[in-house]
Structure 1
């Protein structure tokens, strides 16, 4: 190995550790947002990260000569500066008084916008310094771009894996102190005479940084989180805790925790006891289930619960329960006379609590009538086959219990349920109407498509709807409901003061006179009620939705069916009516706010990207008297790569989440696999520098073939292998990510080689970073409104564009004097002839906040 090559290898170890630490700090910040705030606001972290990288690329481009001249001393002191900037930034973030709920209040939102600005001001220095450091490594090791880039990506991938692994043992609020360490120890591996200085500075910075984090005000749950009030109730106690990448779980005991069941107001008159006291299980500050206390499960309240009607219509049923609510749904079904129960629990911690218990909460008692199935609800319906169940019961808290659970109420899921029902069987789906009754209409639209796909020409005859003041139950049958069924449901509801909102042939106007629970129709545009007496907003629109006609709500909201390609449950807002949404911001459900956050981040990202795109107008003449060569292709090539990579990655994460029935493990597998295999692809690119166009063509063919295979066969393959063990499916996910990731690792270093020397090199890095942050909110909005398959179609076009604009021939190497004007020798320089180069440390990669449910 030559001396220059040895120095390059030595410089790559610090780069590896810095990349690991930067991704780790980013993970720590997004986990803080998920736990203390709401996860959708973590998108701002991505915007800040890429803004810092893009800004550092522009600065290196503008001041290349000075940066290169002082590169070694900068490389020596930057890790210490990064440690201090990260510690101060994280501490100021946790002290920020940002309150998302006040963003929805017209009188308080200006102060919250200021708080958002403070997030940028406190975090931008760290990510700017990180980008500056990584660009320096490329400047000082310009002869092996592919190898350096590969170490960078692999370090980032392993950094993501490290952060996720730490989440099993470290409290999410304490991740940042641990993840400062890779930044500091990177100086121990710095080559050259100044490594002792860097190590001393970094050590002192680490001590100071840890002191800032541990001696400052500790992070805490904000007062608007669901856990805040019960956690601060007198006598409240945390009786169990679980730390995992998918969330921070706390089991609370206090007098406020009871089974979250919608029971009749007439329960006392009927002599039925109310829901019993329980433990409350919270994930990232949001309540997801009740867990039982010691002793037999008390489900005496079951006959008065809204969910009980199907068991009255179908005596002694065979039941598929989707979502077990800590075991209480099992106890309810048995109390109501279920003969046999197959149970599906999609949330992994809830499932573990059922089988092994959680803290003082016992496991579900063994019962020969109860079988707990593996996998998600679609897999369960497919596995059992047709004519298996009298009742399929989807619990009220199932969708909100885990991000992957939204696939359980898609068109494909309902088709699987209908196929698994016996003739005359009933599918029962609960929908909350306390925020927006429109969610019930969306479930109806989805049910209509599933019934039509089964060959049923008149879906209205196969649907019954009944409700309380807070929730609706939609009953769907593969056979038309009989008059006897309708009469039995009406009598059952009347005894409990529930309302029937739909039966075939219903006179909606006449039914208003007998309503127990008023549900007025409200205009979203004006906020005014459109009815003057008792009303049922759901009943008013059911006939139109089941017939596929426009209804009053369809003008303001999307009533489209949910599918596996477009599964988002809380995606009813029409974003094209942005002015109306802003005016009615205070009434929007929190679950819908994520789309508006995406729009805000997208707007910021576009501004940043346009500024970076315009950076060449600021480039000065080079010291040698020559001008920068004007080239258009980098302005198309590098944005296309930044956008395309993320679109592919987000598609893979979503499909893996459905396949594995767990978003967190899907994210970890896809992110780590894509970064590592892309890094390996970058190393290969270094050997293809003389044939960039041919290498790019091979990569394009691989990417195109992979995309075609995903669009044509991925869903069918997943459906037929859903019953495989988790480890097998995880291996298949990695296997699916490997070839496309290798191919995606080629274009970026090939493009850098073509750019050659000059300020265009760090500008290309800035472009890639800037458009990567554009891709994140753009991909989320596309998948929400168009579908995940659209991400692959657009990505294919972007990579084709990149191939077309990439020049055919690699630039000829220039001699050392042309890389840099003559300057006095710097005594700190240990590597001669630096060529200006910079590179996005994590180009086109999706950070954890970009798909975190939390």
Structure 2
């Protein structure tokens, strides 16, 4: 039996894993800034595809790699430096345009550009996978420690890269990550001088290419592109952060981003003032004031009606829109204002100002979510959600859930109003889905006469849904009608509305559109597609939109606000691809990645057939390939399913997706790495170790399914740091257990081709896991994702190989 792997063998593995995960995160940031973040899914698929294919190659040519193992480990970091630099350069110059991918006339060229991403990035991840799998092969008597260094290196890579984002522009992350790859070359055991010279040359060449070569740029479909290129446009402030690249622009196109009546002049009200424009990753985030924020235009805005219905009230603002929502509420007569701004840069701009933009006065400002604020105290006359609150941060989607609406209703003073914004610029179906969610929220609050408690009004592009804990009586309806008539807004629903009669006085035509046919289906004359369905939705009756779109209520378990497309109608969706909004692209990208992942998984599954005698005779006590395939496939699927579930739940709990991602990813990797190092304690008792670890994971999953939501809500008022500590405490025991089954299974695979095959198999089904879990979450909820993980680990426990491969006699020429 060979000696345990020493630090000199595992330290470079730690560095390679660190750089690999850091490179992956840097690529996703590049996609988010220069392209669309939805296409970052493809980066993840390339990563794991490279790992899976490296396992295939290592399994089929294992002896050749093992005979020259020390040389491969010495030279691979050199190749990784070159592949990382060249691959990122190719990403930067790739002209991929997502909008053209949605156009039937131009999509073919974009498919070639996507192929270019694969050609540029796959070599790095393939070589990285070779390095890691070779470490397993050369140290197969100590796979627990090898896997531990791999996972802890990956965890520290994620943590280090997220830290770098606070200091370095997203397009400058990769040059920093070449350094740990160069450091890995310092541990070369053969031809050390030549390897170090080649590593230094590759490092200098790579840094020169990345620092002085072509850089990624904002694509022309980004919101920032046009204002950035108008005459005299200036970037007056910039912040680099793990949450994004923030840029404050001064240009003549920037105005307050709110829906104002065309009748403002007739009402004697001024238009919106000039502002600075704040952008995150090239997407418009908010307008910031150039001077003290004032809102003389407030009475002409769509959001003003609740302030006429509840004058001089206490107002809870969810989102401050750069401070202008505070100014508008003050101008509309609010007596007391609490402004909630969970987005940290926006919150800092309100309190201290940002660049030349001054701080905003006139309201208390808090970072808590509207859900937490509503649970903490009541008596609010108006709970007003800003129109840009949904898109200010991913975690804000939960504020629109049915459970959240029920919480708001309980926090209102008698007769108080919730004001919910919906954009209908893309699909009117979003407003109908919000009505379905409102219905569920009212029922949860114990209000059964749902239609009496809702009023809906709109402009041409936006809707406001008003929800009250008291019925809308004739007096309040009369005020709403006068308000809308004065401003040329339309009332789409109020209790007792005559939809047919109301059509005679519609200001903003909103005809019904058939998504399937791609054409307007209504006849001549003005129409209001929301009015046609509002009452039926509030009663819970089926509607025409419900047949074409997914109008299931938004919930804490299914918080995806924009997921209204039915993937069962994929043919229709593809035929209408050119009109899909960006927010609806994510599920389609997941489907594409899933299709690719299945192909890769089938390829890896076929390796024992391709390997022939090597796999049939790998030891005298044969481990069944089918059983091994089931075991490692379920581990790959289950681990990623748990990770995705935890990121989503932590995002809700912390009200901050970036911190949630950082805590869950680094915590799971590091704790799992520590757990894998315990695998040696189960030498000769691997099945017992798998059973214990599996039992812990199963019990933990069951406990979370039964009580996590109630626990989070009960502790939502804890300080942020305390909640972050709770997240780590919750994931730690399961993560330690999750680190055991993989190395314990590998230790039973012997010296043959089964070991690298199992590594590749785990990677291949990890490719499948990410898009599959995302699709399940969108369609069925995150609890179903965790339930799937529970079932997968139960299968893994019973499919663990029952007997260990007998050691073969082999002597590689150089083993570190």
TM more than 0.5: yes
Work out whether residues 228 and 234 of structure 2, in 8 Å CA contact, stay in contact via their aligned partners in 1.
yes
**Paired residue for 1:551, among 538, 543, 549?**
543
Work out whether residues 469 and 519 of structure 1, in 8 Å CA contact, stay in contact via their aligned partners in 2.
yes
Q: Secondary structure at the match of 1:153?
A: helix
Q: Distance in 2 between matches of 1:87 and 1:326?
A: 39
* Aligned residue-pair number: 813
Work out whether residues 69 and 815 of structure 2, in 8 Å CA contact, stay in contact via their aligned partners in 1.
no
Give the direction of change, closer, same or farther, for the CA distance of 1:423–1:129 in structure 2 (3 Å limit). same
Q: Distance in 1 between matches of 2:164 and 2:229?
A: 28
Shift of 1:623: 12
Shift of 1:104: 1.3
Residue number in structure 1 paired with 2:797: 803
- Cα deviation, 1:486-536, whole Å, max 9, x if unaligned, reads 011001100000001001111111111100000111111111211122110
- Are residues 1:59 and 2:53 paired? no
Q: Distance in 2 between matches of 1:730 and 1:748?
A: 28
Q: Distance in 1 between matches of 2:733 and 2:619?
A: 41
Work out whether residues 25 and 180 of structure 1, in 8 Å CA contact, stay in contact via their aligned partners in 2.
no
Shift of 1:807: 3.0
Give the direction of change, closer, same or farther, for the CA distance of 1:625–1:556 in structure 2 (3 Å limit). closer
Work out whether residues 310 and 426 of structure 1, in 8 Å CA contact, stay in contact via their aligned partners in 2.
yes
| Structure 1 alignment gaps of length 5 or more | 832-854
**Paired residue for 1:779, among 773, 783, 795?**
773
Q: Secondary structure at the match of 1:248?
A: strand
**Paired residue for 1:241, among 238, 256, 264?**
238
- Are residues 1:289 and 2:286 paired? yes
Work out whether residues 699 and 743 of structure 1, in 8 Å CA contact, stay in contact via their aligned partners in 2.
yes
- Are residues 1:341 and 2:337 paired? yes
Work out whether residues 151 and 679 of structure 1, in 8 Å CA contact, stay in contact via their aligned partners in 2.
yes
Residue number in structure 1 paired with 2:632: 638
Q: Distance in 2 between matches of 1:683 and 1:180?
A: 27
Q: Distance in 2 between matches of 1:104 and 1:138?
A: 43
- Are residues 1:264 and 2:226 paired? no
Residue number in structure 2 paired with 1:275: 272
Shift of 1:430: 0.7
- Are residues 1:26 and 2:17 paired? no
Residue number in structure 2 paired with 1:254: 251
Q: Distance in 2 between matches of 1:505 and 1:307?
A: 23
Shift of 1:198: 2.1
- Are residues 1:515 and 2:515 paired? no
Q: Give TM-score, length-normalised by structure 1.
A: 0.94
Which residues of 2 match residues 659-698 of structure 1 at below 5 A? 659-698=653-692
Residue number in structure 2 paired with 1:852: none
Give the direction of change, closer, same or farther, for the CA distance of 1:497–1:301 in structure 2 (3 Å limit). same
**Paired residue for 1:459, among 427, 450, 453?**
450
Work out whether residues 374 and 380 of structure 1, in 8 Å CA contact, stay in contact via their aligned partners in 2.
no
- Are residues 1:124 and 2:115 paired? no
- Are residues 1:499 and 2:527 paired? no
- Cα deviation, 1:800-831, whole Å, max 9, x if unaligned, reads 1011011344444x25x2x46xxxx85xx254
**Paired residue for 2:169, among 161, 168, 171?**
171
Q: Distance in 1 between matches of 2:316 and 2:76?
A: 59
- Are residues 1:702 and 2:696 paired? yes
Work out whether residues 343 and 367 of structure 2, in 8 Å CA contact, stay in contact via their aligned partners in 1.
no
- Cα deviation, 1:464-487, whole Å, max 9, x if unaligned, reads 011000100000001100101001
Q: Stretches of 4+ moved more than 4 A in 1?
A: 622-630
Give the direction of change, closer, same or farther, for the CA distance of 1:790–1:252 in structure 2 (3 Å limit). same
Q: Distance in 1 between matches of 2:720 and 2:618?
A: 60
Q: Distance in 1 between matches of 2:371 and 2:113?
A: 43
- Are residues 1:613 and 2:610 paired? no
Work out whether residues 275 and 288 of structure 2, in 8 Å CA contact, stay in contact via their aligned partners in 1.
yes
Give the direction of change, closer, same or farther, for the CA distance of 1:623–1:419 in structure 2 (3 Å limit). closer
Shift of 1:625: 8.1
- Are residues 1:585 and 2:577 paired? yes
Work out whether residues 689 and 810 of structure 1, in 8 Å CA contact, stay in contact via their aligned partners in 2.
no
Q: Distance in 2 between matches of 1:793 and 1:194?
A: 51
**Paired residue for 2:587, among 573, 595, 607?**
595
Which residues of 2 match residues 133-172 of structure 1 at below 5 A? 133-172=131-170
Residue number in structure 1 paired with 2:409: 418
Q: Distance in 2 between matches of 1:620 and 1:546?
A: 63
Shift of 1:298: 1.9
**Paired residue for 1:713, among 707, 711, 718?**
707
Shift of 1:140: 2.2
Q: Distance in 2 between matches of 1:623 and 1:319?
A: 70
Q: Distance in 1 between matches of 2:366 and 2:20?
A: 40
Q: Distance in 1 between matches of 2:518 and 2:772?
A: 30
Shift of 1:589: 1.2
- Cα deviation, 1:107-133, whole Å, max 9, x if unaligned, reads 111111111111111111111111111
Q: Secondary structure at the match of 2:235?
A: strand
- Cα deviation, 1:138-159, whole Å, max 9, x if unaligned, reads 2222221101110110000000
Shift of 1:412: 1.2
- Cα deviation, 1:177-206, whole Å, max 9, x if unaligned, reads 11111111111133x343333222111110
Q: Secondary structure at the match of 2:513?
A: coil
Q: Secondary structure at the match of 2:6?
A: helix
- Are residues 1:223 and 2:211 paired? no
Residue number in structure 1 paired with 2:568: 576
Q: Secondary structure at the match of 2:258?
A: coil
Q: Distance in 2 between matches of 1:625 and 1:400?
A: 58
Instruction: Choose between structure 1 and 2 for higher RCO, CA contacts under 8 A separated by at least 6 residues.
Output: 1
Q: Secondary structure at the match of 1:538?
A: helix
C-alpha RMSD of the superposition? 1.5
Q: Secondary structure at the match of 1:755?
A: coil
Give the direction of change, closer, same or farther, for the CA distance of 1:23–1:625 in structure 2 (3 Å limit). closer
- Are residues 1:318 and 2:314 paired? yes
Residue number in structure 2 paired with 1:561: 553
Work out whether residues 62 and 620 of structure 1, in 8 Å CA contact, stay in contact via their aligned partners in 2.
no
Work out whether residues 254 and 287 of structure 2, in 8 Å CA contact, stay in contact via their aligned partners in 1.
yes
- Cα deviation, 1:615-669, whole Å, max 9, x if unaligned, reads 1111043499878945321110001000000111111100111111100010000
Residue number in structure 2 paired with 1:372: 365
**Paired residue for 1:206, among 198, 203, 210?**
203
Shift of 1:76: 1.3
Q: Distance in 2 between matches of 1:700 and 1:463?
A: 49
